[in-house]
Amino acid sequence: MSVQTVLVGQNVLVTGGCSGLGLAMALTFQRAGARVAVFDRTIPTGFDKAHPDLVLIAGDVSDPVSVKEGFGAAQSILGRLDAVIANAGISQNKPTLDLDFAEWRRVMSINLDGAFLTCYEAGRLMSASGGGSIILTASMYGVVAAPERLGYCVSKSGTVMMTKALAIEWAQLGIRVNAIAPGYVRTPFVEELVALGRLDLEKLEQRTPMGRLITPEEVADAACFLISDAARAITGQIIGIDGGWTAYGYL
């Protein structure tokens, strides 16, 4: 089966799907034959014209009512949801002693509470329709630690354990749950940090065994595989897409 048809007949929902990794995944799934809805807090001006075949749903993953209504809208438009990507999230890079509680709670509410609420609604619908596939966007910093990223590391490590716990609990319902754990990806956000001097691109590339950052399309291809029938026996796994970063312990 060609990559252009591996998701034919599937309906997919992607949270945080209007930019970065979420948009790359949404477009990859669409090219693979799926009907795709994106759920995002802000739908950019002109996004509907640029992507007329995507179903657009505005909502906040940290709000239980918003998430439930968003899933209801997606189901009413698409019908059965075969796959859901709990991708919405934010980064946080700040010395811990400068981190106030409101900032801590914000990263937890979006990255961890948002993942739970997304998985809960996906599980509720999929358990009633015979199963499906869920992917959580974790991070290599949910697997290994880094300084000045406490909230981010803790929230992403939480999504890693959420993935494993749900996978073993929901396997009997026909629901597969996996996570992708990207490393540094060349998104517009990362490019902006490089331009501002907050990230040293050369050092990041030197630290990565493959010698380069990962592209959004490479992350999207991995996610496409995980929700396809080719991955039907895979659940409870954390798939690192980091160019070998977490495997390299020398420097």
CATH number at residue 101: 3.40.50.720
Domain count, the chain: 1
Identify the bridge partners of residue 241 per DSSP, sorted by sequence position: 182
In this structure, is residue 207 part of a structural domain?
A: no
Stated pTM of the model: 0.95
What is residue 3's predicted lDDT score, i.e. its pLDDT? Answer: 56
Produce one character per residue of 137-155: b if its CB has 16 or more CB atoms within 10 Å, e if not. Answer: bbbbbbbbeeeebbbbbbb
In this structure, is residue 192 part of a structural domain?
A: no
Q: How far is the CA of 6 from the CAs of 178, 225, 247, in angstroms?
A: 18, 8, 30
Could you tell me the residue range of the domain that residue 62 belongs to? 3-183+219-238
Structural contact between residues 146 and 189, judged by C-beta atoms closer than 8 angstroms? no
Which runs of E-coded beta strand occur in the chain? Answer: 11-15, 35-40, 55-58, 83-86, 132-137, 175-182, 238-241
Please give the distance of CA 53 from its chain centroid, rounded to a whole number: 21
**Average pLDDT value for residue range 202-215:** 95
In this structure, is residue 27 part of a structural domain?
A: yes
Residue 27's SS3 state is: helix
The amino acid present at 107, given as its one-letter code, is V
More confident residue, 85 or 187: 85
Structural contact between residues 140 and 97, judged by C-beta atoms closer than 8 angstroms? no
In this structure, is residue 31 part of a structural domain?
A: yes
Residue of 152, 184, 248, 250 marked catalytic: 152
C-alpha to C-alpha distance for 16 and 42, rounded to whole angstroms: 9
- pLDDT-derived band at 187 (thresholds 50, 70, 90) equals confident
In this structure, is residue 245 part of a structural domain?
A: no
In this structure, is residue 171 part of a structural domain?
A: yes
Is the model's pLDDT at 77 over the cut of 80?
yes
- pLDDT-derived band at 191 (thresholds 50, 70, 90) equals confident
For the chain, the average pLDDT equals 95
In this structure, is residue 70 part of a structural domain?
A: yes
Whether residue 152 lies in the annotated active site: yes
In this structure, is residue 194 part of a structural domain?
A: no
